[in-house]
Amino acid sequence: MTEDVLVTISGKHLLGGESEDVELLVPGRYRRTEDGVHEIYYEEPLDDTGFGTENTLRIDADSMCIEKHGACTAELRFLNSVQRTLCEYRTPYGVFMIGIKTSDLRIDVSEDCIRAEAVYAMDVGDEFLKDCEMTVEIRARRGGDSEA
């Protein structure tokens, strides 16, 4: 995998019969750590408040973690088990404890692509928030690839 990559994140949030689809396509930087963890750095575009978010995505054989730094700061962990993980989600309005319970995590690594698919439920303060699905794909950026 090259250092310059394209990061595609698509997902679906399901709540009360309603579905909200999200998709992000941005350039990123890739490196593999000495212990075999895939690290991808990318920025989300500016939001309505004029703030962007810097992200570090870490993927290994059994887990995926997204560290967010910006107007909101969090470390979201998705494990290849039904174990619930907790994270502090820091916002300008206060700190919330978010629970993530991953029911399915599939990670596929090939020479030119890393793909992770997660199905999970989120809660805030032990109260169910929504069911979610997310696909993350990292591909080598070629000369003809456009940036988002």
Q: What is the pLDDT of residue 121?
A: 93
* Mean pLDDT computed over 105-119: 94
**pLDDT, tens digit, 9 for 90 and up, residues 132-144:** 999 999 999 876 5
**Helices and strands in the chain, H and E counts:** 0, 10
Q: What is the pLDDT of residue 45?
A: 81
Residue whose C-alpha is closest to residue 128's, from 95, 89, 100, 88: 100
Q: What is the pLDDT of residue 145?
A: 55
In DSSP terms, 116 is beta-bridged to: 107, 136
Task: Tally the C-alpha atoms within 13 A of residue 18's C-alpha that lie toward its C-beta.
Answer: 5
Residue that the structure tokens 């997204």 belong to: 66
Q: What is the pLDDT of residue 127?
A: 86
Q: What is the pTM of this model?
A: 0.86
Q: What is the pLDDT of residue 15?
A: 78
